[in-house]
Amino acid sequence: MPSKSKSMQRTMGWALACKKGETENCPPNIQKIADTMSVDKLEDFAKTKHKGLPEKKKKKKANESYVLSFEQFLKENKE
């Protein structure tokens, strides 16, 4: 599975380096990622190319997701 953003790709690369023991003093949050994922999964995320990726993935606004779910509700309950 490829990374969704450049920051995710860098984070997974850092976690992979921590898991392999290539870096010292890994932060606890990065170490937690490394401990919970396999080397293969980390490599899949870390090998993603940067071209065309956003710096960070955009989040949907809370209001936007509410409107979308409300529209879905209306479609499903039309009589």
Specify the higher pLDDT residue, 30 or 67. 30
pTM of the model: 0.64
Position 74 pLDDT exceeds 60? yes
pLDDT tens, position by position, 34-45: 999 999 989 888
The structure tokens listed for 71 are 């529209």
Q: Note whether 41 and 19 are within 8 A (CB).
A: no
Whether the per-residue pLDDT at 16 is higher than 70: the answer is: yes
3-state secondary structure of 3: coil
Q: What pLDDT was estimated at residue 79?
A: 47
pLDDT at 64: 57
Question: What 8-state DSSP symbol labels residue 4?
Answer: S
Instruction: Provide the H-helix boundaries in 1-79.
Output: 6-20, 28-36, 39-46, 62-76
Q: Which residue has the higher pLDDT, 35 or 75?
A: 35
